[in-house]
Amino acid sequence: MKRLLLSLAILLISAMAFAGEGMWIPMLLQHNEKEMQEMGMRITAEDIYSINHSSLKDAIVLFGGGCTGEIVSDYGLLLTNHHCGYDYIQQHSSVEHDYLTDGFWAMDRSQELPCPGLTVIFLREMRDVTDKVTFNVNDDIEETERQRLIDENIKKLVADVEKTTDYKVFVKPYFLGNEYYLLLNEEYTDVRLVGCPPSNIGKFGGDTDNWVWPRHTGDFSVFRVYANKDGHPADYNPDNVPYKPAKHLEISLKGAEEGDFAFVFGYPARTSEYLPAVAVDQEANVIDPIAVKLRGEILDIYNTYQEQDKKVRIQYASKHAGLGNGWKKWMGVTEGINHFHGVEKKRFYEESFRQWCLESRGRIPYLHLLTDFEQKYKELEPYRVAYTYLTNAGLNIEIMSFAGYFNRLSQVTKETPQEEIDQMIVSLKKATAEFFKDYYQPIDEEVARTMLEEYLNHQPADFRPGFLNEIQDVNAYVDQLFNKSMFVNEEKVNKFLDNFKPSKAKKLQKDPALIAYQSMINFYREDINPPMSAINNDLSRMQRLYMKGQMLMEPEKRFSPDANFTLRVTYGKVQGFKPQDGKNYRHFTTLEGIMEKENPDIYDYVVEPKLKQLYNTKDYGRYADKDGTMHVAFTASVHTTGGNSGSPILNADGQLLGLNFDRCWEGTMSDLVYDPDICRNISVDIRYVLFIIDKFAGAKNLIAEMDIVE
């Protein structure tokens, strides 16, 4: 019976693993090539990733450190999501030039807008360096010492490779530290905004539709990568020229049909597919609900003020998007894990792992892992809860977080070199201008009152910062905080910086906002981080061994490593889905759905007059589907996560079908537990992107650059 249980569990998990699950290392894709071609792919693994000739990898970039983008012309033209470019669109926006509301289109390259701080990174090569990194390292070494040896080996390896290349060299762990790969990256720092639709196209549906299907969001923006005259990376200079890529993507107008093979090529950020059941349960049913509650209360405050004032709406647009994205996702994770029995499935698999361990004396090192996991996660929980309150309540009070920028300045003495002080002043003046550009004190005051009440009501005294334990009345404390702190007044802050001397550091130390910030940081450094790090140190060793054990238990299975912000390929089929009884969604949406959702009283559902005119006249040009409608978005059973935003979704020939921008709410649990029946990624149809650029915006100069396949 035990053998039967083991076989059934392995069969169940293995079957799930080959139905769209997995984030595959590009350089090892030859192991997946046969399966991908059987599913319909007509190109080769070498066409996707090669170091000997140009390949699709040469058109994919890590955009801004948190998203993916793709090159779609021989002149460095780049597509990514609207929400990926949102911060830079917002930075260029003002009441006079409201690109968030009105959109922006450069009709020639002289109109393209520089984006200081924005970078794109190309992967040039990957190498398996596991043997070199783990030289003289084994599982019997104490974890801290093991990591020290690994860090030393990596440092030496990177130094040796850097002598032979101009690329940036990194080494990343895979399979929870069981394997290591070296990455050669090239970073470009002159990236310019070329175009973006109005937010009621690029963010149509707003937070209400976020993580939800059916979706009607034209989530795209357009940038361009520039290089020096030799084609190499260079900081912004008017003399720079458009980057000429080794490869750019062809764009298909054929559309995505149900059952078509499709794959996503991008930079997924983080998944934890191999966690034990206890960890998944803690994430979904303890940590995420706390973060959802706290962020939800802040978003309610933002909504109230943003609806009343256009300037405030612009100021808090990016902040709202940042908080709202996680807020809604985490609700979906909890719902999905519980509704589709994710924890129970994990425990079923773990029982098979236990049975496997009992079959051989050589497997004894793995036998007690699951029991130990239960104990360690129980120890970890109060610290994780405390950290969740700190980051989602305390540090979301803007005045306190802003004060934190001045913490280092508050520590200077007359012995501090003047050059060092001058550098701090310059940096702080820049931070001050950026902060007050998007700051509205009434919002911050209300957030402070709400978050401090939550903190005091739900966290015990020994699991919260010390300054909170001195508060007798929250309203009185908040009144005093905003009346006495200089960090609510831009003029006072700049005057202080202009006249700063080391003797004035004491004045900073007495500012109530900085006192609160220091209390929070000290609480983290002294009370939260040390025990949490010690527990996580033990868990790292245990999870590495558990991963190794799983791979030994199923030697014939192809395992894909968790996402770690490195380039990956994921693949599946264009598919609709049935999340629950009575709901059966087709795989695409159309412009008709935008008209059905129109509500002129809600900004996120306003339909632009020009878009309505194009719909009424059915003026879709060559971008209409063969059914005559204008397709907007589509779903597929391709495993994606954060970081995949902006990733290209490609067809069987490696041509661009659309831009991945979201997942279905019912399947957001896929970071922890993947279910092929309900986990779907959502992409904006590339034909809708081209339709908006061409027919809506009239930016035919951009269309002319692209390699479009009819």
pLDDT tens-digit series, residues 631-648: 999 999 999 999 999 999
Same domain, 251 and 283: no
Same domain, 335 and 425: yes
Catalytic residue among 83, 216, 587, 631: 83
What is residue 248's three-state secondary structure? coil
Can you give the pLDDT at residue 322?
87
pLDDT tens-digit series, residues 548-570: 999 999 999 999 999 999 999 99
Q: In this model, does residue 16 exceed pLDDT 60?
A: no
Catalytic residue among 410, 645, 647, 683: 645
pLDDT band at residue 155 using 50, 70 and 90 as cut-offs = very high
Given 546, 572, 600, which residue is the final one in a domain? 546
Same domain, 432 and 485: yes
Decide if 540 is catalytic.
Answer: no
**Range from 189-193, 522-526, 600-604, 699-703 carrying the lowest mean pLDDT:** 600-604
Q: In this model, does residue 5 exceed pLDDT 70?
A: no
Q: In this model, does residue 6 exceed pLDDT 50?
A: no
**How far is residue 160's CA from residue 165's CA, in Å, rounded to a whole number?**
10
CA atoms within 13 A on the CB side of 159: 6
551, part of any domain: no
Given 546, 581, 600, which residue is the final one in a domain? 546
Q: In this model, does residue 17 exceed pLDDT 50?
A: no
Q: Do 463 and 382 form a contact (C-beta atoms < 8 A)?
A: yes
Decide if 645 is catalytic.
Answer: yes
135, part of any domain: no
Given 482, 514, 546, which residue is the final one in a domain? 546
CATH of the domain at 679: 2.40.10.120
CB atoms within 10 A of CB 494: 15
610, part of any domain: yes
Q: Which residue has the tokens 């002598």?
A: 163
Same domain, 489 and 632: no
Same domain, 526 and 569: no
Can you give the pLDDT at residue 210?
87
Can you give the pLDDT at residue 11?
46
Q: In this model, does residue 341 exceed pLDDT 60?
A: yes
Mean pLDDT computed over 683-698: 98
Q: In this model, does residue 700 exceed pLDDT 90?
A: yes
Decide if 83 is catalytic.
Answer: yes
pLDDT tens-digit series, residues 439-461: 999 999 999 999 999 999 999 99
Same domain, 345 and 201: no
Can you give the pLDDT at residue 14?
45
428, part of any domain: yes
CB atoms within 10 A of CB 557: 13
pLDDT tens-digit series, residues 112-140: 999 999 999 999 999 999 999 999 998 88
- The answer to whether the bond into 214 is cis (omega within 30° of 0) is yes
Local structure of residue 379 (DSSP, 8 states): H
CA nearest to 92, candidates 74, 122, 113: 113
Q: Do 141 and 148 form a contact (C-beta atoms < 8 A)?
A: no
313, part of any domain: yes
Q: Do 683 and 657 form a contact (C-beta atoms < 8 A)?
A: yes
Mean pLDDT computed over 1-7: 46
Question: Which domain range does residue 340 map to?
Answer: 277-546
Mean pLDDT computed over 315-338: 90
Same domain, 509 and 622: no
Burial of 200 (0-12, 13-18, 19+ CB in 10 A): buried
Same domain, 539 and 680: no
Can you give the pLDDT at residue 117?
95
Same domain, 254 and 293: no
- Rg for the chain, CA atoms, rounded: 26
Can you give the pLDDT at residue 20?
60
Same domain, 315 and 437: yes
Count: domains in the chain: 2
Q: In this model, does residue 249 exceed pLDDT 70?
A: yes
Same domain, 263 and 281: no
pLDDT tens-digit series, residues 271-282: 999 999 999 999
505, part of any domain: yes
Can you give the pLDDT at residue 9?
47
Mean pLDDT computed over 298-306: 96
**How far is residue 327's CA from residue 331's CA, in Å, rounded to a whole number?**
7
pLDDT band at residue 58 using 50, 70 and 90 as cut-offs = very high
Helices (H), 524-619: 529-553, 591-597, 609-616
Same domain, 668 and 700: yes
Can you give the pLDDT at residue 288?
97
pLDDT tens-digit series, residues 580-602: 778 899 999 999 999 999 999 88
Catalytic residue among 219, 281, 444, 562: 219
Q: Which residue has the tokens 């589907």?
A: 625
222, part of any domain: yes
End-to-end CA, the chain: 58
Using a cut of 0.75, tell me whether the model's pTM lies above it. Answer: yes
pLDDT tens-digit series, residues 358-413: 999 999 989 999 999 999 999 999 999 999 999 999 999 999 999 999 999 999 99
Q: Which residue has the tokens 């404390």?
A: 477
678, part of any domain: yes
401-406-411 Cα angle (round to 5): 130
Q: What is the mean pLDDT of the chain?
A: 94
Share of the chain above pLDDT 70, in %: 97
